[in-house]
Amino acid sequence: MSRLLKIAGYFILITGAISMIAPFLWMVSVSFMPEADIFSVPPKIAPFPPVLGNYTGIFKNIPFTIYFFNSFFVASITTIFQVLFSAMAGYAFARAKFRYKNFLFFLFLVTMMVPPQVNIIPLFFIMRSLNWIDTYQALIVPGLFGGFGVFLMRQWFMSVNPEMEDAAKIDGCGSVKLFFSIALPTAVPAVVTLGIFTFITSWNSFMWPLIVTNSESIMTLPVALAQFKSSFREVIQWGDLMACSVVLSLPVLLIFIFGKKYFINDILTGGIKE
């Protein structure tokens, strides 16, 4: 009986994995197909022979390099500063003693329960009052702070034994040096985990960039991909569209592949207190 349950469990897992990876594999396959083979009958599963014309086409039809740079720049800056601010705030909530600490932390948790769509209109008016519409500031600044990051870093620092930090305080180590030299290096798994989540969220962000950007020089890649169909007058170049989607997915895959070691370590050890 247990063996049958084990087989059934593996079957469900394999079926789920195939159902999730199949659309991605199809997207990659179509990106290497000539336009005539995409909707051929019978349908072709793999490109033979593969062509690179779709990837060169995205540079000819749209200013792809500008869109890619905008997305990478915004996602990178947002990730760096959100991780830094979240780590500092999380460390303060975990170690510092001040009045209303628990109440203020509760307010951070409340922000996690508010749907992001609710904040769009107030944020838009704030950006407009600052004359930041259609600028990098409007794309970056609202994403520099987040309740989830503060919560994650606070939980990590609370799970770390403070004996080393206490010893450093006795030796005369200041608060800033204590944070950057001792506390932050111990939180590398949590930092990388938060960095992965933040980068993916910023990289895939669509609604906010769509609202606050007007010109092509500021437009990010997800918004450009949504408008990719309108760049053609009558015929949609599906090969070019899939090639653009593949390139859009690559940074996220690379970030996760190089950070998965710390990501898994954070999941395994995040709830263990010493």
Phi, psi of 95 (to 5 degrees): -115, -40
Does residue 271 surpass a pLDDT of 50? no
- What pLDDT does residue 267 have? 53
**Top-confidence residue, 147 or 236:** 147
Q: What is the mean pLDDT of residues 119-126?
A: 91
Residue 84 tokens read as 């830094």
- What pLDDT does residue 124 have? 93
Whether the Cβ atoms of residue 88 and residue 191 lie closer than 8 Å to each other: no
Percent of all residues in the chain with a pLDDT value above 70, rounded to a whole number = 92
- What pLDDT does residue 41 have? 76
Does residue 175 surpass a pLDDT of 60? yes
Residue 100 tokens read as 């209303």
Does residue 230 surpass a pLDDT of 80? no
Closest C-alpha among 193, 217, 218 to residue 208: 218
Does residue 143 surpass a pLDDT of 60? yes
CA angle, 53 then 54 then 60, to 5°? 85
Does residue 268 surpass a pLDDT of 70? no
Q: What is the mean pLDDT of residues 92-112?
A: 87
Whether the Cβ atoms of residue 86 and residue 149 lie closer than 8 Å to each other: yes
Burial of 157 (C-beta count, 10 Å sphere; 0-12/13-18/19+): buried
Q: How far apart are CA 269 and CA 260, in angstroms?
A: 14
- What pLDDT does residue 266 have? 56
- What pLDDT does residue 4 have? 83
Does residue 21 surpass a pLDDT of 60? yes
Place of tokens 């905008």: 70
- What pLDDT does residue 160 have? 81
- What pLDDT does residue 138 have? 95
Give pLDDT tens digits for 40-71. 777 778 887 888 888 888 888 778 889 999 99
Does residue 173 surpass a pLDDT of 90? no
Q: How far apart are CA 65 and CA 11, in angstroms?
A: 42
| Mean pLDDT for the chain overall | 85
Whether the Cβ atoms of residue 72 and residue 247 lie closer than 8 Å to each other: no
Does residue 118 surpass a pLDDT of 60? yes
pTM: 0.84
Closest C-alpha among 91, 189, 204, 216 to residue 143: 204
Place of tokens 């039809």: 61
Q: Is 37 helix (H, G, I), strand (E, B) or coil?
A: helix
